[in-house]
Amino acid sequence: MSIKWIRAVLLATDLAASVGCTGSGWSSGRGHDTPGLGHAPDALPVPVAAADDRVIRNALPVGKTLTAPSPAAQIAQDGPIALRVVLSRAACSKSAADCRLLKVEYAAAAMRELVDRPPLNIALVLDNSGSMAEARKLPYTLDAARWVVENLTERDVISMVAFNDRAIVLSGAGRAVNKPFLLHRLDEISAENLTNLSAGLLEGIAQASVHSADGQVNQVLLLTDGQPTRGETNPAALHQIAQQARLRGIGLSTFGVGSDFNERLLADLAGAGGGRYVYVKAPEQIPAAFKDELHGLLEVVGQNAVIQVNVTGGAIDKVYGQLLDEPTASYEHVIGDVRAMERGFVLAELGPVRTGSAVSLQADVRLVYDDPKAGTRLSSVANVRPSDRDQPEDPSIAILAAVLNAVEEVEIAAQGLDIERYRRATASFERLYNLAREFAIRTRDQELLNQTFVLKHFMAELAAAETEGLLHGHRDAKEKLKKESHYLRYLLNHHRPQS
């Protein structure tokens, strides 16, 4: 995708912008306000922007089902989570002229004030292997656990498990009534031995099962800084453990600390358990990560959420941020729990579309999730096909795809320790970012601006990794890059705004 092509797209949209075009915003036909990016209730968590980066925001669509005028774009909503699907003609990462970009977005509505929150059943599973003694990781972890204990009520259930080469039950599942005892048990933990993650996970699930019940939040919070070296270490077997627990109504959230843990394993476990994976870059951030997760558990508006995409008349060639072994006609993206005001997206390339085919291109997208409040399974469906118009249907999607491609180029160059390629790719990203930002402001497209800011933040992390010696073979910096890169992909599909 060339810079010249994107400039042409920008020029073609000037007229629409001048008469109030809202780009890819989710229009509800209501009035607008102008909050700063750091406070927009439907914005992704991004760095605070300068004053000239404030744009007019579109509200989340209201109503059960809304359909855009073009067959290439649809919005559907049946319950608290809205689904928006756009199929756009654009130049893709391949040279195929008949390629299409499919963007699938989901966005959850705000939750009303929690007057009577559901009781919590929390199992804290904490790594206390020898490596947790480094950089004060264990003391920060214990501070986070103390905060959880102190903020529970007598209606809540808590259990605490530590694991090194074996699992140790610090406190069995019970009501949070004897807090001095719970805090005392945390004081007795020290860092030693190896990492038997499966033992800690199984014990945490067993403790949460003791008081598991409908109408409350049953969740295991697992924190580790290393690879599983004892017990069950097969990722597929660990995935099965988390999945089976989820089927019994017990969720799992995972926290990875530092640079030595397996980020793909922890993200996979959280996905199987319907919870969240959190990359904790620095030990001092552990307490804040636990606080955010605990608050989030009280704001779940959808569970077991899945996006299903089926294509006829073409194929899914690429899903940004994901690996596809070969083109496929169907793709399933597992989200898990969706929390109030959370939003995310999946971006895919479809094609090439065969000319003269008896079957025309169409993408059928379904968002399926359980509404915990109503106790029912909901499904929103959108069916999109190419527009008859010749011009690109949604230039913001093409721009986002170009920026994502540039980020991938930078990442590949950095991981390959190719400093010249890295610098060229970085310069390409900067040009694309400036074009994307200009377009987003001109068309008042809050979502595109938010997404490009997230990518800009990631590029800053890459630059920091280079400074630390990544492109000269520094192992810690390289591992940090891998985790930052993986977490970016994860967050683009599992975003919850900062409160």
pLDDT for 372:
81
- Check if the beta carbon of residue 218 is closer than 8 Å to that of residue 208: yes
| pLDDT tens figures, 26-53 | 433 323 322 223 333 233 233 223 323 3
Average pLDDT of 67-86? 78
pLDDT for 185:
94
pLDDT exceeds cutoff 50 at 60 = no
In this structure, of 157-166, 253-262, 314-323, 471-480, the range with the lowest mean pLDDT score is: 471-480
Q: What pLDDT band is residue 56 in, cutting at 50, 70 and 90?
A: very low
Decide if 71-111+306-317+330-388 and 120-298 have a common fold. no
| pLDDT tens figures, 433-457 | 898 889 989 888 887 887 787 778 7
Q: What pLDDT band is residue 336 in, cutting at 50, 70 and 90?
A: confident
- Check if the beta carbon of residue 253 is closer than 8 Å to that of residue 220: yes
pTM attached to this predicted model: 0.73
| pLDDT tens figures, 179-236 | 999 999 999 999 999 999 999 999 999 999 999 888 788 999 999 999 999 999 999 9
| pLDDT tens figures, 296-314 | 888 888 888 999 999 998 8
| pLDDT tens figures, 101-144 | 999 999 998 776 545 677 899 999 999 999 999 999 999 999 99
| pLDDT tens figures, 254-299 | 999 988 899 999 999 999 998 999 999 899 999 999 989 988 888 8
- The CATH architecture that domain 71-111+306-317+330-388 belongs to is Sandwich (2.60)
pLDDT for 103:
93
Residue of 19, 225, 39, 53 lying closest to 126 (CA atoms): 225
pLDDT exceeds cutoff 80 at 470 = no
pLDDT for 147:
92
CATH of 120-298, one of 3.40.50.410, 3.90.420.10, 3.10.129.10, 2.60.120.260: 3.40.50.410
pLDDT exceeds cutoff 50 at 345 = yes
pLDDT for 125:
98
Domain spans in the chain, listed from the N-terminal domain onward: 1-24+27-60+394-499, 71-111+306-317+330-388, 120-298
pLDDT for 97:
56
Strands 120-127 and 157-163, how do they pair? parallel
> What is the share, in percent, of the chain residues with pLDDT greater than 90?
40
Which has the higher per-residue pLDDT, 391 or 404? 404
Mean pLDDT of the chain: 78
